């Protein structure tokens, strides 16, 4: 049964919700600010926590602002837009430090100079659905798969939005064109605004054939897409390629290509900073980039390293990485090897050396146990960890610290202003001579709030 009660928000936690307490249980309330009082209504009740929505703001915080996006609150893309940019950044720092402290690690974090809070995204993923027979195209709602009709995303550039409007109008002209489509990912070049490629996901292989019949090539002309790929969520490797589904990104002196569907860092302003943080200060014998994507954290360092090894499981990203190495030329890429493999499987049989420098940039779940244990058992002494999930990072950091590493540098890079997401870039070095738990509380990690 829905209950109404008043709460005071203690803090904002990983995921972006405000945390409060009510009758011995934790209550999570989205769209709130630390210190505020709200009247809330439960939306989900579990044994040890509740989810609730605010029905009245009783006492507001000075950190609150009017969100600049008309979709805010319904669209699930942003979760901290009701905070001033400075307060949102401070909140993210608190989330990172709290994630570490829950793993009994106390360490301060440098916060990178903030990037513009809008127009930064080079990749947006929009979904297709039907409501009352009408085609709906937009983002998922907060913690739901309901699609909200979105015409414009403030986080994306104006040219990327213009492409989205044109794509939308092509489907609105004839909604049967969207039959069987699940989503579209639009990817813009970070240095050539308006050069956009796309990846459509359809439900099944059959959906690819169906979509092909609807003359999707028209989209190149109509929406100015460079090219696109259509592939099935399930059903193997078959894909449809139209035009040239490739964009380029400038990274210092390098030009990196990305095919639709390959991963590339999504904030156009943050690319150089990310590379600078992990850049080696002196010559390196071997640079090992696990989860390497198209070579973002490996190719910029090829001239400083005797050898570079990149490992990536996605075939498309891997082939981009190889093409990027080739395009980078002999002078700095002849020493580069890209291997298509699961990172843990690679590490299992790879013979690491003490002077190897390893970069890991895993998906949200962090390192697998197998990879973590393999790295811990290896003789490496320096590891850069690039993370997009603070709790997963903190879990892995604890294992590293328990096994004799210490955090040498920790930087929060806010790649995703207005959302609760951010990137953490840490450098771990192996403590010499001892393998104690110094720097760690001896207590086990805290499980719950
Ligand atoms: C967060 S992205 C980072 C990519 C790259 N470091 C960059 O900055 O562009 C993670 C990458 O890991 C790849 N990946 C996911 N699971 C993997 C696995 N088990 N083994 C190797 N690569 C994996 C993904 O395809 C993706 O390219």
How many beta carbons lie within 10 A of that of residue 169, not counting itself? 12
311 CA distance to ligand 1 middle (Å) = 8
Q: Contact 418/155 with Cβ under 8 angstroms?
A: yes
The side-by-side arrangement of strands in the sheet containing 196-202 is: 147-149, 134-140, 123-131, 181-188, 196-202, 227-232, 239-243
Tens of pLDDT, residue by residue over 89-102, are 999 999 999 999 99
pLDDT at residue 445 greater than cutoff 70? no
Could you tell me the pLDDT band of residue 437, with boundaries at 50, 70 and 90? very low
Q: What is the pLDDT of residue 440?
A: 56
Q: Is the dihedral of CA 162, 166, 167, 169 positive or negative?
A: positive
Q: Which residue(s) pair with 409 in the sheet?
A: 427
Q: What is the pLDDT of residue 6?
A: 98
Q: Atom 17 (ligand 1): residue with closest C-alpha?
A: 313
In whole angstroms, how far apart are CA 259 and each of 188, 194, 368? Answer: 11, 16, 27
User: Is CATH 2.40.50.1070 correct for 123-247?
Assistant: yes
The side-by-side arrangement of strands in the sheet containing 405-413 is: 110-111, 405-413, 423-430, 382-387, 356-360, 284-290, 305-312, 336-340
pLDDT at residue 438 greater than cutoff 50? no
Q: What is the pLDDT of residue 435?
A: 46
How many beta carbons lie within 10 A of that of residue 119, not counting itself? 18
DSSP alpha helices (H): ranges in 146-228?
158-173, 205-212, 218-223
d(CA 384, CA 410): 10
Q: Atom 26 (ligand 1): residue with closest C-alpha?
A: 293
d(CA 145, CA 148): 9
DSSP alpha helices (H): ranges in 290-368?
315-328, 330-333, 343-349
Q: Atom 19 (ligand 1): residue with closest C-alpha?
A: 342
Give the atom of ligand 1 at the shortest distance from the alpha carbon of 274.
8
d(CA 447, CA 393): 15
Domain boundaries, the chain: 1-64, 101-115+269-430, 123-247
Q: Is 31 exposed, middle or buried (0-12, 13-18, 19+ CB in 10 A)?
A: buried
Q: What is the pLDDT of residue 436?
A: 44
> Ligand 1 pocket test: which of 199, 260, 272, 291 has the largest number of ligand atoms within 8 Å of its C-beta?
291
Q: Is the dihedral of CA 23, 24, 25, 26 positive or negative?
A: positive
Tens of pLDDT, residue by residue over 65-77, are 999 999 999 999 9
Q: What is the pLDDT of residue 334?
A: 78
| Fold match flag (101-115+269-430 vs 123-247) | no
Tens of pLDDT, residue by residue over 320-370, are 999 999 998 745 567 999 999 999 999 999 999 999 999 999 999 999 999
Q: What is the mean pLDDT of the chain?
A: 94
Q: What is the pLDDT of residue 448?
A: 56
d(CA 183, CA 78): 19
Q: What is the pLDDT of residue 414?
A: 98
Q: Name every residue whose Cβ is closer than 8 Å to that of residue 21 and which is 6 or more positions away in sequence.
A: 7, 10, 27
Q: Atom 11 (ligand 1): residue with closest C-alpha?
A: 291
User: What CATH code would you report for 101-115+269-430?
Assistant: 3.40.50.150
* Backbone conformation region of residue 137, classed left if phi is above 0, alpha if psi is from -120 to 50, else beta: beta
Give the atom of ligand 1 at the shortest distance from the alpha carbon of 342.
20
Give the atom of ligand 1 at the shortest distance from the alpha carbon of 359.
6
Section 5-31 average pLDDT: 97
pLDDT at residue 447 greater than cutoff 80? no
* CATH of the structural domain 1-64, one choice from 3.30.56.10, 3.40.50.300, 2.40.50.140, 3.30.930.10: 2.40.50.140
């Amino acid at each position: 049964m829905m209950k109404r009660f008043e709460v005071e928000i203690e803090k904002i936690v990983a995921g972006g919700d405000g945390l409060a307490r009510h009758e011995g249980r934790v209550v999570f309330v989205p769209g709130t600010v630390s210190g505020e009082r709200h009247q809330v209504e439960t939306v989900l009740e579990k044994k040890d926590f509740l989810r609730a929505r605010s029905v009245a703001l009783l006492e507001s915080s000075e950190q609150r602002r009017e969100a600049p996006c008309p979709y805010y609150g319904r669209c699930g893309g942003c979760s901290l837009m009701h905070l001033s940019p400075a307060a949102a950044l401070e909140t993210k720092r608190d989330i990172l430090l709290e994630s570490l402290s829950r793993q009994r690690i106390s360490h301060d974090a440098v916060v990178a100079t903030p990037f513009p809070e809008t127009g930064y995204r080079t990749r947006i993923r929009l979904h297709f659905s039907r409501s009352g027979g009408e085609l709906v195209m937009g983002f998922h709602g907060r913690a739901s798969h309901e699609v909200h009709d979105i015409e414009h995303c403030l986080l994306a550039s104006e040219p990327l939005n213009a492409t989205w409007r044109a794509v939308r109008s092509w489907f609105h002209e004839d909604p049967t064109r969207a039959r069987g489509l699940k989503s579209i990912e639009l990817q813009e070049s970070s240095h050539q605004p308006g050069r956009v490629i796309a990846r459509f996901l359809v439900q099944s292989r059959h959906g690819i054939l169906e979509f092909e019949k609807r003359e999707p090539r028209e989209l190149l002309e109509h929406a100015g897409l460079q090219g696109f790929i259509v592939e099935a969520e399930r059903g193997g490797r078959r894909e449809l390629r139209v035009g040239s589904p490739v964009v380029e990104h400038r990274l210092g002196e390098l030009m990196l290509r990305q095919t639709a569907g390959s991963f590339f860092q999504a904030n156009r302003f943050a690319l150089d900073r990310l590379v600078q943080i992990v850049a080696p200060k002196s010559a390196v014998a071997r640079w090992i980039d696990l989860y390497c994507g198209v070579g973002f954290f490996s190719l910029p360092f090829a001239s400083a390293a005797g050898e570079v090894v990149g490992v990536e499981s996605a075939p498309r990203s891997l082939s981009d990485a190889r093409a990027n190495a080739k395009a980078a030329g002999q002078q700095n890429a002849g020493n580069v090897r890209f291997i298509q493999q699961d990172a843990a499987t690679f590490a299992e049989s790879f013979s690491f050396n003490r002077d190897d420098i390893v970069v890991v940039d895993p998906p949200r779940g962090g390192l697998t146990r197998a990879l973590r244990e393999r790295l811990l058992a290896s003789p490496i002494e320096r590891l850069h960890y690039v993370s997009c999930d603070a709790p997963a990072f903190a879990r892995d950091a604890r294992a590293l610290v328990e096994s004799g590493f210490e955090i040498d540098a920790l930087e929060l890079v806010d790649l995703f202003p207005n959302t609760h997401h951010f990137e953490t870039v840490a450098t771990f070095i192996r403590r010499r001579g001892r393998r104690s738990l110094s720097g760690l509380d001896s207590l086990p990690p805290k499980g719950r709030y």
